[in-house]
Amino acid sequence: MEVYPIVHKNLIFNILTDEDISFIEIRKMLDYLIEEKAFDKETDSLAYEPEIYEIYIDEYHYVVDVQDYEVAIYKREKKIDTMEN
């Protein structure tokens, strides 16, 4: 996985991914994670575990792992429309 440091809303994140993803998508994803308080977890515990999030933004489904200010993007796939005409 490649590591891409990014500054967003005066915070520094490391984005880890092998996916072909735009900065617009990453910023939307970070906005969602900030809103969900994914980065506000207490890290005093030695047993701190990363948290997996499934995120739906625009036409994509993402599976990401958040630990501190590192976001690993494991999956990016187009959403499947399950409604039939």
For position 85, what pLDDT does the model report?
47
For position 80, what pLDDT does the model report?
75
Contact 65, 71 (CB under 8 A): yes
Q: Which amino acid is it at 48?
A: Y
For position 40, what pLDDT does the model report?
82
For position 75, what pLDDT does the model report?
93
Contacts of 62 (CB under 8 A, 6+ apart): 29, 53, 54, 55, 56, 73, 75, 76
Angle at 37 between CA 32 and CA 78, to 5 degrees: 25
Provide φ and ψ at 28, rounded to 5°. -65, -40
**pLDDT tens for the 85 residues of the chain, in order:** 899 999 999 999 999 999 889 999 999 999 999 999 999 866 555 446 778 999 999 999 999 999 999 999 999 999 776 555 4
Written as six digits, the tokens of 13 are 């994140």
For position 81, what pLDDT does the model report?
65
